[in-house]
Structure 1
Amino acid sequence: MAEEMAAYVIEEYGDPDVFQRQTVEVPDPGPEEVRVDVAATSLNPVDYKIRRGDIPDFAPEFPAVLHCDVSGVVDAVGEEVDRFDEGDEVYGMPGGAGRQGALAEYVVGNAGTFAQAPESLSLEEAAALPVVALTAWEMLADKTTVDEGDDVIVYGAAGGVGHVGVQMADHFGADVTATGSTEAKRSLAAELGANATVDYTETDVATYIDEHAGGDGFDVVFDPVGDDHLETAFEAVRPYGSVVTTESSSTQDLSPMHASSLSLGVVLVILPVLLGEGEERIGEELTEIARLVDEGAVEPRIDERFGFDEAAAAHRRGEEGGVLGKLLLVAE
């Protein structure tokens, strides 16, 4: 076992070119931790927001190894861990925010932040799932419940969280309407299970409520986009309905919530890692998600693959927008 490893780190916030390859010490797992030989990671907006310095409270210490998602093979097990053995293929969300992440040969994290990887995907592809699938799961199965025949609208339906949200809502038996600004995005949403698609740049809220939600609004509005979409969500939801979102930064008038007796659920899936407590929740939910994947209910869509040495290019592509599904970064 080598004592040093390659890692792609940032020493300061900035544009994608701040990534640099360094040789650092291989981390040892603590009593409740496992070390994973990294197969792949994927890009989420939280990763480039941390890199830019938008959310410094979430950043690992410099030199910082970013990226929250990971898949790989368990390489070492802490003395108090009995859930995993060396050689297990796992996926998880152990760091990248609050602690060192996955853009390295090895990552260490609390055993509770991992689960056995889905059997029906390649190990590399499993790295596309944790952040987005956990977010979609917590939005649809924790912050609200979706019943057979519910009208659910998914904003940003071809994006990372959205494309999993479409599949999960469909699996739960909802009638899914999906929004997308391009034909390619709407086609992907339909392919993933949406019953109807809407070009929100050309169609106002009242029109798509009339066409797809019986005129009184959707039972659930699934909003992984935020900003102006959250304001639109309050218009699109029926009285007593639910809006679920990942929104964190915009200022909103909440009076529509009172007027229509709405519920609002906000999800931050990396919170257990940031708090350093309750990490078992992550592993339990990832176990359930792996079951959905192996049942054929959920599959990540990989738009493009990069090597770890192409982290800057992956971040540029992600920040440009227009990604269908996820960008995957594969270890050398």
Structure 2
Amino acid sequence: MKAIMMTATGNPDVLELHDIDEPEISTATQLKVRLKAAGVNPVDTKIRSHGLFYDNPLPAVLGCDGAGEVIEIGSAVSQFKPGDKVWFCHGGLGREQGNYAEVTVIDQRWASLMPETSSFSEAAALPLVLITAWGALFDRGGLQSGQTVLIHAGAGGVGHVAIQLAKLKGARVITTVSSGQKAEFVKAMGADEAVIYTQNGFADAVNKLTDGKGADLVFDTVGAEVFKQSITVTAHFGHLVTLLDPGELSLAEARMRNLSIGFELMLTPMLRDLAEARDKHVEILKQCAQWIDKGFLKAHISKQMSLKEAAIAHQLIEAGHSTGKIVLTV
């Protein structure tokens, strides 16, 4: 089969199209899936740049998000049959094969039936960002109906689904964006207010929009400087959740505000083999599939590219400021 191989640690040029052996079912509960699409996420570019999470030799196949059709099942598989369309977040971290490939094998426990109304590309775009946004908003952030949430980088992959999930919860959503065009986009996704941070930052605007109280929950998808500035726009006794390492900074104001600070790394259950936590990920996909089929939730795909264009996809993500998701079609 054809697959994109990470041949070394480095720039996007290390991603090469190769012919490799097709994976085979090795346990009774596995599915063999013909992949139709693979989502591209920032974590893929970081692994390519800095190395695998596991001490395994290269080359390796990247790509955590996949969607495809079941073509073979193990003898003990009870949840799926050949022909089923499935989506999942599995592999691509340096241990199991990722999804930049034509075929993969996955245990039935980690797969879920795709939304009936989604294309393969739409389904492949969503698992990692849905699970990430859900964990940050609800599990770490405790978001409730009627509360105000500030979502940074609302036009991005995680941000645009976080907006939709927050609105489904009944929250008021403020989000930051870099341009007027992206402001229009996030409002189409359901955001109540968009702050264009490239003009005068975001702190004064958010505090004005919240009458000086700040947001009940602030979700940082950007990094250290944004995290630091977000402390002063988080309401007293509120939650501040980040996807990234905030670095060394003074938390005196966060302490004065009695903030709950949380970290969301949706890869942890895979990296630490926390099976029950991974079960929760599958439950999230099942719930989100229902919302997608009802028209309450959708993916925005900015670009669909062929498998052989994986290196270009990585370049686009690393250039920054992309809207929604990039998907590789297989």
**TM-score in terms of structure 1 length:** 0.93
Q: Which amino acid aligns with 2:316?
A: R
**How far apart, in 1, do the equivalents of 2:206 and 2:122 lie?**
36
**How far apart, in 2, do the equivalents of 1:108 and 1:187 lie?**
40
Choose from 83, 86, 100 the match for 1:87.
83
- Relative distance call for 1:223 and 1:182 in structure 2 (3 A) is same
User: Corresponding residue for 1:316?
Assistant: 315
Q: For residue 285 of structure 1, give the secondary structure of its aligned residue in structure 2.
A: helix
**Unaligned stretches of 5+ in structure 1?**
none
Contact 1:34 1:108 in 2 (8 A): yes
Q: Deviations over 1:117-147 (max 9, x none)?
A: 1112112211000111110111112112222
Choose from 259, 273, 276 the match for 1:276.
273
User: Corresponding residue for 2:248?
Assistant: 251
User: Corresponding residue for 1:303?
Assistant: 302
**TM-score in terms of structure 2 length:** 0.93
Range that drifts further, 293-302 or 205-214: 205-214
User: Corresponding residue for 1:326?
Assistant: 325
Choose from 100, 103, 126 the match for 1:103.
100
Choose from 5, 14, 19 the match for 1:9.
5
Choose from 126, 134, 151 the match for 1:137.
134
Contact 1:163 1:192 in 2 (8 A): yes
Q: Deviations over 1:200-258 (max 9, x none)?
A: 22234552233221211100101111221111221110111011221136333333332
Q: Which amino acid aligns with 1:303?
A: S
Q: For residue 25 of structure 1, give the secondary structure of its aligned residue in structure 2.
A: coil
Q: For residue 197 of structure 2, give the secondary structure of its aligned residue in structure 1.
A: coil
Contact 2:195 2:202 in 1 (8 A): no
**How far apart, in 1, do the equivalents of 2:89 and 2:152 lie?**
24
Q: For residue 235 of structure 1, give the secondary structure of its aligned residue in structure 2.
A: helix
Range that drifts further, 151-160 or 196-205: 196-205
2:53 maps to 1:57: yes
**How far apart, in 1, do the equivalents of 2:269 and 2:309 lie?**
29
2:26 maps to 1:27: no
Q: Which amino acid aligns with 1:162?
A: G
- Relative distance call for 1:189 and 1:265 in structure 2 (3 A) is same
User: Corresponding residue for 1:149?
Assistant: 146
- Relative distance call for 1:251 and 1:75 in structure 2 (3 A) is farther
**How far apart, in 1, do the equivalents of 2:207 and 2:243 lie?**
26
**Unaligned stretches of 5+ in structure 2?**
none
**How far apart, in 1, do the equivalents of 2:248 and 2:149 lie?**
24
Q: Deviations over 1:25-71 (max 9, x none)?
A: 21123233322110001111000001112x53258642200010100
Choose from 158, 167, 170 the match for 2:167.
170
Contact 1:61 1:100 in 2 (8 A): no
Q: Which amino acid aligns with 2:325?
A: K
How far did residue 78 of structure 1 move? Answer: 2.8
How far did residue 81 of structure 1 move? Answer: 2.9
**How far apart, in 2, do the equivalents of 1:59 and 1:169 lie?**
38
Q: For residue 57 of structure 1, give the secondary structure of its aligned residue in structure 2.
A: coil
Q: For residue 290 of structure 1, give the secondary structure of its aligned residue in structure 2.
A: helix
**How far apart, in 1, do the equivalents of 2:269 and 2:319 lie?**
29
- Relative distance call for 1:141 and 1:60 in structure 2 (3 A) is farther
User: Corresponding residue for 1:229?
Assistant: 226
Q: For residue 83 of structure 1, give the secondary structure of its aligned residue in structure 2.
A: coil
- Relative distance call for 1:148 and 1:34 in structure 2 (3 A) is same
Contact 1:205 1:235 in 2 (8 A): no
How far did residue 303 of structure 1 move? Answer: 0.5
How far did residue 99 of structure 1 move? Answer: 2.1
- Relative distance call for 1:267 and 1:31 in structure 2 (3 A) is farther
Contact 1:114 1:286 in 2 (8 A): no
User: Corresponding residue for 2:33?
Assistant: 36
CA RMSD of aligned residues (A): 1.7
Q: For residue 233 of structure 1, give the secondary structure of its aligned residue in structure 2.
A: helix
User: Corresponding residue for 1:238?
Assistant: 235
Q: Deviations over 1:142-171 (max 9, x none)?
A: 112222221111100000000111111111
Q: Which amino acid aligns with 1:115?
A: S
Contact 2:29 2:77 in 1 (8 A): yes
2:285 maps to 1:286: yes
